[in-house]
Chain A
Amino acid sequence: MKKAPALSIRVKTILRMMLSGLILVGVVVGGLLIGEGRPSVDLLNRNTPPSLNHLFGTDWLGRDLLARTLRGLTMSIMIGVISVTISATIAFLLSIISSWGRFLDICVNWFIDMFLSVPHIVILLLISFALGGGVKGVIAGLALTHWPILTRLLRAEVMQIKESEYVSLSRQLGKSRLFISRRHILPHIIPQLFVGWLLLFPHVILHESAITFLGFGLPAEQPSIGIILSESMQYLTAGLWWLAFFPGLALLLVVLSYDLLGNSIRTFIDPYQVRK
């Protein structure tokens, strides 16, 4: 029916990976190139609508919103890298520990349930409150609250490997738990861990902007989408739509890219997904 042969899933996946990777690299490179102190204040051009000079328009201090958005997204991604890495490490350690015995497994599960029983935003708020807000509070909050679901996934994987014949053989040969964890389980869950690490970014970035929007996250002088959007609230009734529209759209694009990248890589690693 179609004239051109359809692209294979493999090629499509590679294309998706390249596209989403490019967007993310572009945002970070753009954000870093703009540098400190920019976008500069320009009081003559306050609140101007989008134009060729200022693609996203300018804000109440005449700062270019595109530059501010890029800096904010770069900041979000950097905060994301730190907190996602900590969260994934916690998830990894807990999933290994839970394979060491029935009691430990129950403890880990209970710990997961406890974290999932309080609304996520409320925990973030509480941790940020405890640390007095600011960058430290945001990173600690994000890092300490994003491991439960990944832990559950990894734990299921670990349990499955633990039941396999080569592991029970290894145990009968007298190998220690540490040896089994390192030599038999670890190599199998590293791909899962990597994909899980990537797929945590969308959650972490969205939560970071949400908590900043509420006023608990990054301080107002930091570049951040949450700050831009909460400032835009004061100008909405005046009809300054671009203050909120473009920065939010850019945030959506970054989150979507991470999601696409993570899912493409998973398709690549896990052949079962391809066949579905």
Chain B
Amino acid sequence: MRPQKLASYFISKLLRLVLLLFAVSLASFILISFSPVDPVQSYIGAEASRVSPEQRKEIEAYWGLNEPLIDQYKKWVTAILQGDLGTSLLFRAPVSHVIGERFVASFLLMAIAWILSGVIGLILGILTGSKHGSWLDRSIRLYCYILSSTPSFWLGLLLLMTFSVWLGWSPVGLASPAGILTDEVTIWQKLNHLILPALTLSLLGVAQTTLHTRQKLIEVLASEYAIYAKAKGESDLQLLWRHGLRNAALPAISIQFATFGELFGGAVLAEQVFSYPGLGQAVVQAGLGGDIPLLLGIVLFSTIFVFTGNSLADIIYRLIDPRLRNGGRQ
């Protein structure tokens, strides 16, 4: 791509993101305003009996809860634009700090699961695609179909029961052993706590990638250029390397990037099952505990996360596929 084209591409992406964030923030703000949860109540919490009605009124006035919705929204957006997402009621810390801290933990989890599911899915897809119709293909496909109907949190529970409770191989929860200072936790201990949630997440991601890679590879191997190459005497491996692999990797790559939303959703459930202190657990706590600033912050953050994934899918697709790079869209 020429620089000029590149610049206009990024500017249009950026405009889309701004528009998206505006729409999402407005929609979620309106939704939250319908909520029966009283923000003052959840702020006061257990000390409700010690706060007089007059003091309540003062807090309401201080927060601007009596102002019209549009003014409240304007205030909120202005604060966000200045980098202030508000203070989390549950964690008693700035929302941006909570999100940042929690996201590091979640990111580790999601990254491991993401890489595992991509690599395994691609390998299984190539295996099934190049040997389609065989018993191997049938059994892997059956496994994928069953997997795609499996509730992810149930799978997590099964793994937890088998490996932690029954076999006692790995710890039951949390991101690090209890009772040990954060600095003293070794990498091995961290990994040990990560492994089951990451496995849960990646097992589910495998199914889609496998099935799409398989479909594409079958298509490619049945194409005229593949048949011609075969007639020229190329071996199966050569055929796969020269013609199959790059084509078959396309759907896998775009799925891996375009399913950041599902990855995030899976992480929410996996973190809940394994009580892993990540962003997913934070959003559940925020929702259950009426922590509106944190909830809204995570909604916006996860939107940016998914948008980034979708944009990366788009860009990488263009890099790999010259047809898209030179011409318009598919």
Chain A residues near B (Cβ < 8 Å): 113-114, 116-122, 125-132, 202, 206, 209-210, 213-216, 225, 229, 232-233, 236-237, 239, 241, 244-245, 248, 251-252, 255-256, 259
Contacts and interface: CB of A to CB of B under 8 A. Distances in A.
Contacts of A215: 284, 288
Which of A122, A202, A210, A245 has the most C-beta atoms of chain B within 10 angstroms of its own C-beta? Answer: A122
Interface stretch (B90-98, B119-127, B247-255, B294-302): B294-302
Given A119-B265, A214-B269, A236-B161, A114 B24 contact: yes
A144 to B, nearest CB: 10
Determine the main DSSP class of A at the interface with B: helix
A209 B150 CA distance: 11
B80 interface: no
Given A117-B20, A236-B161, A130 B310 contact: no
Given A120-B265, A215-B284, A233-B273, A252 B36 contact: no
A254 to B, nearest CB: 9
Contact of B302 (A118, A130, A214, A232): A118
A210 B153 contact: yes
| Size category, B interface | 35 or more
B61 interface: no
8 contacts: A117-B24, A126-B295, A127-B31, A132-B37, A214-B269, A215-B288, A233-B273, A256-B146
B32 A251 contact: no
Given A129-B32, A215-B284, A236 B302 contact: no
Given A117-B303, A210-B269, A125 B158 contact: no
B261 A119 contact: yes
Contacts of B8: none
Given A118-B261, A129-B295, A256-B149, A248 B20 contact: no
Contact of A125 (B20, B261, B284): B284
Contacts of A245: 158, 161
A122 B36 contact: no
Interface string B277-299: 00000011001100000010011
